[in-house]
């Protein structure tokens, strides 16, 4: 069964710190990886995508991918209270399969 | 460009009834996916339509069905509602070329009494 695992949290970090969110996936042939942010009562929104090993930076966000370890992470630098949300990892696996979402990690940034 | 719209936003039904939810994707997007979201199970995939054809289907009973029209608008139907169908139903549209790039609508919150 194709799975995406995330620690449900909550992950609490102080304002200004680096928040590190992790995700592992079961399908070694997975091709592309995405991070979505979902505020309470709202729908998910795409914040990052990554396709190859290494780091990809976008503003305060950095996505990291290690396909050998089947591991993808999201770092949020200078965390702000407005970053408090649930972060969903999604993986595009091989074949004609739908996008697979993890259950999400709830992040709380404390002012 | 207008975002994904879903109607209705809120719905209250009783067990045994049926319900139809509607989704209008972003203009030009040909793929529409439906998800059920509950606090315990997270985001669960229902089905995906691309150019009026069902491209993928999740592990839901046959009471859940959907379709897509030529203008890419999509509907999903749930028949014989059960209490456990109470959830947030999300529709997401995608250009179709990269299925990870999905744009979600605001969702329809369904309560089954």
Residue B35 near residue B101 (C-beta atoms within 8 A): no
Average pLDDT over every residue of A82-108: 91
Mean pLDDT of chain A: 94
Task: List the single best residue of B21, B42, B46 to mutate versus A (max A Cβ within 10 A).
Answer: B42
pLDDT at B110: 97
CA angle B5, B33, B25 (to 5 degrees): 30
B30 touches chain A (CB under 8 A): no
* Token representation of residue A18: 């680096």
Q: Do the chains contact at A43 and B105, CB–CB below 8 Å? A: yes
B45 touches chain A (CB under 8 A): yes
B43 touches chain A (CB under 8 A): yes
Which residues of chain B have a pLDDT value below 50?
A: none
* Token representation of residue A94: 């091989």
Three-state SS letters, A36-85: EEECCCCCCEEEEEECCCEEEEECCEEEEEECCCCEEEEEECCCCHHHCE
Q: Which of A34, A46, A104 is opposite residue B42, by nearest beta carbon? A: A104
Coil vs helix vs strand at A109: strand
pLDDT at B95: 85
A40 touches chain B (CB under 8 A): no
Residues A73-90: tens digit of each pLDDT? 999 999 999 999 999 999
Residues A12-54: tens digit of each pLDDT? 999 999 999 999 999 888 889 999 999 999 999 999 999 999 9
Residue A12 backbone dihedrals phi, psi, to 5 degrees: -110, 130
- Alpha-carbon distance of B75 to A88, in angstroms, equals 25
Distance of CA B51 to the CA centre of its chain: 16
Surface-to-core class of residue A85, CB atoms within 10 Å of its CB (0-12 exposed, 13-18 middle, 19+ buried): buried
Q: Cβ–Cβ contacts within 10 Å for residue A14, how many? A: 10
A97 touches chain B (CB under 8 A): yes
Give the 3-state secondary structure percentages of chain B, helix then strand then coil, rounded to 5: 5, 55, 45
């Amino acid at each position: 069964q194709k799975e995406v695992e995330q620690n449900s949290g909550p992950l609490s970090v102080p304002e200004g710190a680096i928040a590190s969110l992790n995700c592992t996936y079961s399908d070694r042939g997975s091709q592309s990886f995405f991070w979505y942010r979902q505020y309470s009562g709202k729908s998910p929104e795409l914040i990052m995508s990554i396709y190859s090993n290494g780091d990809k930076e976008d503003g305060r966000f950095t996505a990291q991918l290690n396909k050998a370890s089947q591991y993808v992470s999201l770092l949020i630098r200078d965390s702000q209270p407005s970053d408090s949300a649930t972060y969903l990892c999604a993986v595009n696996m091989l074949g004609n399969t739908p996008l697979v979402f993890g259950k999400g990690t709830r992040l709380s940034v404390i002012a | 460009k207008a975002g994904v719209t879903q109607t209705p936003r809120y719905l209250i039904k009783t067990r045994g009834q049926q319900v139809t939810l509607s989704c209008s994707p972003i203009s030009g997007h040909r793929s529409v996916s439906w998800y059920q979201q509950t606090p315990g199970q997270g985001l669960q995939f229902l089905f995906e339509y691309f150019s009026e054809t069902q491209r993928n289907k999740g592990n839901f009973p046959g009471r859940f069905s959907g379709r897509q029209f030529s203008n890419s608008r999509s509907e999903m139907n749930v028949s014989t509602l059960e209490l456990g169908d109470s959830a947030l139903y999300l529709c997401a549209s995608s250009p179709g070329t990269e299925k990870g790039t999905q744009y979600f609508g605001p969702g329809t919150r369904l309560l089954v009494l």
